[in-house]
Amino acid sequence: MAKITYIEHDGTQHEIDADTGTTVMNAAIDNLVPGIDADCGGECSCATCHVMVHEAWLGKVGTPSDTEESMLDLNPERQANSRLSCQIAVSGEIDGLVVDLPEFQF
Amino acid sequence: MAEASLPRMIDVDPWSIAIEDIDVSQRELWAENKKWDFFTRLRDEAPVHFCPESDVGPYWSVTRYADIMEVENNWQSFSSDRTIVIDDPEEDFELPMFIAMDPPKHHDQRKTVQGVVAPVNLQALEGTIRERVQDILDSLPVGREFNWVEQVSIELTTQMLATLFDFPFADRHKLTRWSDVATGSPETGVVETEEQRREELYECLEYFTRLWQERVDKPQGIDLVSMLAHGEATQNMDPQEYLGNLVLLIVGGNDTTRNSITGGVLALHENPNEYNKLRSNPALIPTLVSEIIRWVTPLAHMRRTVTKDCELHGKTLRAGDKVVMWYVSGNRDERVIDRPNEFMIDRPRARQHLSFGFGIHRCMGNRLAEMQLRILWEEIQNRFHKVEVVGQPQRVPSNFVHGFTELPVVLHAL
């Protein structure tokens, strides 16, 4: 179990409890957090679950795989802390995670 | 061409032909819209299917959604290098373009132009698109038959394309012609001969070379020509590669949305209950748009070439083999999509479809396409009670561009 906070572009916050074993993307979808499209359903192949991870958590969420890197690289609005939320697994390690949502998914 | 000697699918019963004899590439199947039962059989009986002999040589068909995703996500084994269509590249007329490249060059070139259709830019374009849609719709005759393809679908997408290229507006119909010529051939009737096709494409190159020269010495603008002329990865392209990338951007922005615009009208006409849902709840338009794009699947396939021997759904594919991902079939795969043969404008998870592709080659203009369709349907609702289809649609005889040349309609006022 982990608490995750999603902050929309307009500042609206959504705090949810996510089960261990799911992903940051699925936790958002299951709790109807807006702003994550997840067109490919979590296959790391559409980049429509883009989030920006708050700095304090960057060390805990790991680094993108080559495939994720390849998808992120094509997004002109990519930031240094950009990740695809389908590739971040939920565990006690990331309890308290805060992510910003982009204004638009590409 | 072995066209005459091969058995023609249009003459056989799709349910009794031996599975190994099926060849879904034949153009008549597409012109006559008779491919669906063949694809159902392939999905059920031979989801990774080898056709040893066809008008376009031997090829594998991948027809289920999940298998298509597997190919999309493995560009290392399934390469886009040199071509992404079922026909092999013409040895003496190759058109390099970034959709037909693998990383890293693909990424370098795509990143140069991708910003033009980034959502933040699209916001700035929304007002222009709406005005144009309004002008086009206001110019249409009410109560009298006309061809929707010609007067709406082509006109709207061509105007959009002219804007993205900052192309002289009065000459914009040249873009439509070049788009048709690029994907056409003597077999599809767009040109008389292959020589004529090449000549017309060189006219396109010549025209765009003038635009390049006008823009290369000026500060970089936000149009595609300026972006290519100034981009580090594209400024030194040779003419053939400039032409290739132009063809990609012209076809990508033209032949696709054009057919979603037409196909949407046809689908709503054929499904009056869905049309009534739309009339009573215009908030469904965003889902309608995704459902139209799934339903129409404006590009029927993408092709990959195997780089090293590998397994796919129990079959062994060899280096050099041609693999065709039939999006048109994956979008009707009941294993992933609930009641796929029903057009449902309130479909849950409507964005989950294959029409834009997935992985690194996913359509970069997908948000622009959706925006054009959304605005079009919003404005249609404000003006017309109904767009009635009054005759048979004519289809493009192509296994790649899945669309229409004619859709006779009559508009009914509110």
Average pLDDT over chain A, rounded to whole? Answer: 96
CB B59 within 8 A of CB B323: yes
pLDDT of residue A88: 97
Give the sheet arrangement for strand A97-100, strand by strand: A13-18, A2-7, A97-100, A50-53, A82-84
Q: Shortest Cα distance from A74 to chain B (angstroms)?
A: 6
Segments in chain A below pLDDT 70: none
Question: Is the pLDDT assigned to residue B38 strictly greater than 80?
Answer: yes
Substitution target in B105, B336, B362 with the highest count of A β-carbons within 10 Å is B362
Give the C-alpha separation, A98 to A89, whole Å: 14
pTM: 0.95
Phi, psi of B148 (to 5 degrees): -60, -35
What is the three-class DSSP state of B159?
A: helix
CB contact under 8 A, A76 and B351: no
Give the C-alpha separation, B158 to B88, whole Å: 28
CB contact under 8 A, A45 and B351: no
**Residue of A37, A44, A76 lying closest to B118 (CB–CB):** A76
- Residues B138-173, buried b or exposed e (16+ Cβ, 10 A)? eebeeeeebbbbebbbbbbbbbbbbbbbbbeeeebe
Task: Write the CA distances from A87 to A26, A34, A68, A70, B155, integer angstroms.
Answer: 10, 18, 8, 13, 42
Q: Is residue B113 within a helix (H) or strand (E), and if so which, with residue range?
A: helix B105-114
- In A1-106 the beta strands, taken as DSSP E runs, fall at 2-7, 13-18, 50-53, 82-84, 97-100
- For residue range B194-222, what is the model confidence (pLDDT) as tens digits? 999 999 999 999 999 999 999 999 999 88
CB B325 within 8 A of CB B59: no
By C-alpha distance, the chain A residue nearest B103 is: A70
Q: Shortest Cα distance from A94 to chain B (angstroms)?
A: 27
What is the three-class DSSP state of B59?
A: strand
pLDDT of residue B119: 82
**Residue of A46, A104, A105 lying closest to B362 (CB–CB):** A46
Q: Find the radius of gyration of the CA atoms of chain B.
A: 21
Q: Which residue has the higher pLDDT, B19 or B254?
A: B19
- For residue range B321-359, what is the model confidence (pLDDT) as tens digits? 999 999 999 999 999 999 999 999 999 999 999 999 999
Phi, psi of B134 (to 5 degrees): -60, -45
What is the three-class DSSP state of A23?
A: strand
Task: Write the CA distances from A29 to B103, B344, B392, integer angstroms.
Answer: 31, 22, 42
Distance of alpha carbon A68 from the chain centroid: 12
Sort out which chain A residues have CB atoms less than 8 A from B362's CB and list them.
45-47
CB contact under 8 A, B118 and A106: yes
Give the C-alpha separation, A77 to B389, whole Å: 42
pLDDT of residue B254: 87
Q: Tell me the two tokens of residue A64.
A: 């993108």
- For residue range B150-201, what is the model confidence (pLDDT) as tens digits? 999 999 999 999 999 999 999 999 999 999 999 888 988 899 999 999 999 9
Gap between the terminal Cα atoms of chain B: 52
Average pLDDT over chain B, rounded to whole? Answer: 95
- pLDDT classification of B1: cutoffs 50, 70, 90: very low
DSSP letter (8 states) at residue B368: H
Q: Tell me the two tokens of residue B193.
A: 């001969």
Give the count of Cβ contacts less than 8 A between chain A and B. Answer: 54
Establish if A8 touches chain B: CB-CB under 8 angstroms: no
Give the C-alpha separation, A92 to A18, whole Å: 10
Phi, psi of B120 (to 5 degrees): -65, -35
**Residue of B115, B119, B352 lying closest to A41 (CB–CB):** B352
For β-strands A50-53 and A82-84, DSSP reports them as antiparallel
pLDDT of residue B4: 57
Residues 6+ apart with CB under 8 A from B231: B109, B112, B113
CB contact under 8 A, A74 and B110: yes
CB B34 within 8 A of CB B10: yes
Tell me which residue of B351, B381, B380 sits closest to B367, measured CA to CA.
B351
Q: Tell me the two tokens of residue B176.
A: 């439509």
Establish if A22 touches chain B: CB-CB under 8 angstroms: no
- For residue range B309-329, what is the model confidence (pLDDT) as tens digits? 999 999 999 999 999 999 999
Which ipTM did the prediction report?
0.93
Q: Tell me the two tokens of residue B91.
A: 């040895």
Question: Is the pLDDT assigned to residue B2 strictly greater than 50?
Answer: no
Establish if B362 touches chain A: CB-CB under 8 angstroms: yes
CB contact under 8 A, B351 and A39: yes
pLDDT of residue A36: 95
Gap between the terminal Cα atoms of chain A: 30
- For residue range B81-123, what is the model confidence (pLDDT) as tens digits? 999 999 999 889 999 999 999 999 999 999 999 988 888 789 8
Question: Is the pLDDT assigned to residue B6 strictly greater than 90?
Answer: no
Q: Tell me the two tokens of residue B52.
A: 């040893």
CB contact under 8 A, B360 and A46: no
What is the average pLDDT across B59-81? 97
CB A101 within 8 A of CB A36: yes
**Residue of A45, A73, A104 lying closest to B119 (CB–CB):** A104
Establish if B105 touches chain A: CB-CB under 8 angstroms: no
Q: Is residue B71 within a helix (H) or strand (E), and if so which, with residue range?
A: helix B65-72
